[in-house]
């Protein structure tokens, strides 16, 4: 079971709480987690990664286990703690302002 924490605006959009849980088959990667997330909550398609290219949106970042994983390959394995559900995969809206 994978835990994913969403930013507030996407929780409202998907009508969920701060954290959702997902079943992910095969290797736990950014791509497999986001595929599972979008399958469970289709309204989130296009909000985290581009609908067509599947590239991460510019103002969205991915964190887990204290690491910024935003620049990692979408097919790179996520930390073991994410794969086991010990730690959540964090989808974060970049902070803007001054």
Partner 1 sequence: MSGVRVLVGTRKGAFILTSDGKRDRWDISGPHFGGWEIYHVKGSPAEPNRLYASQTSAWFGQVIQRSNDGGKTWEAPGGGVPTAPGGMPVGESNKFAYDTSPETGRPLTTHPWYDGTPRPWEFKRVWHLEPSLTDPDTVYAGVEDAALFLSKDGGLTWQELPGLRGHGSGAKWQPGAGGMCLHTILLDPGNPERIFIAISAAGVFRTDDAGKTWRTANRGLVSQYIPDPTAEVGHCVHRIAMHRSRPNTLFMQKHWDVMRSDDGAESWQEISGNLPTDFGFVIDVHANEPETVYVIPIKSDSEHYVADGKLRVYRSRTGGNEWEALTKGLPQKDCYVNVLRDAMAVDSVDPCGVYFGTTGGQVYASSDAGGSWAPIVRDLPAVLSVEVQTLP
Residues that bind partner 1 (CB under 8 A): 7, 9-10, 13, 38-48, 50-52, 57, 59-60, 93-94, 96
Residues in the chain: 98
Shortest separation between residue 46's beta carbon and partner 1, angstroms: 4
For partner 1, give the closer residue by CB, 56 or 87.
56
What is the spatial distance between Cα 47 and Cα 56, in angstroms, rounded to a whole number? 9
Q: Given the complex with partner 1, which of 37 and 83 has the nearer CB atom?
A: 37
Q: Which is nearer to partner 1, 40 or 77 (CB)?
A: 40
Closest contact distance (angstroms) between CB of 32 and partner 1 is 17
Residues near 16 by beta carbon (within 8 Å), at least 6 away in sequence: 6, 41
* CB contact set of 3 (below 8 Å; sequence gap of 6+): 19, 20, 21, 22, 82, 85, 87, 88, 89
| 45 versus 65: smaller Cβ distance to partner 1 | 45
Please state the closest distance from residue 56 (CB atom) to partner 1, in A: 11
CA angle 7–67–31, rounded 5-degree value: 65
């Amino acid at each position: 079971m994978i835990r994913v924490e969403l930013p507030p605006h996407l929780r409202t959009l998907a009508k969920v709480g701060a954290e959702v849980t997902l079943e992910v088959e095969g290797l736990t990667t950014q791509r497999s987690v986001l595929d599972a997330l979008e399958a469970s909550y289709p309204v989130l398609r296009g909000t985290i990664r581009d609908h067509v290219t599947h590239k991460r949106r510019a103002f969205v970042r991915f964190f887990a286990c204290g690491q910024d994983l935003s620049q990692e390959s979408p097919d790179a394995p996520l930390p073991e703690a994410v794969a086991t559900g010990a730690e959540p995969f964090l989808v974060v809206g970049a902070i803007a302002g001054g």
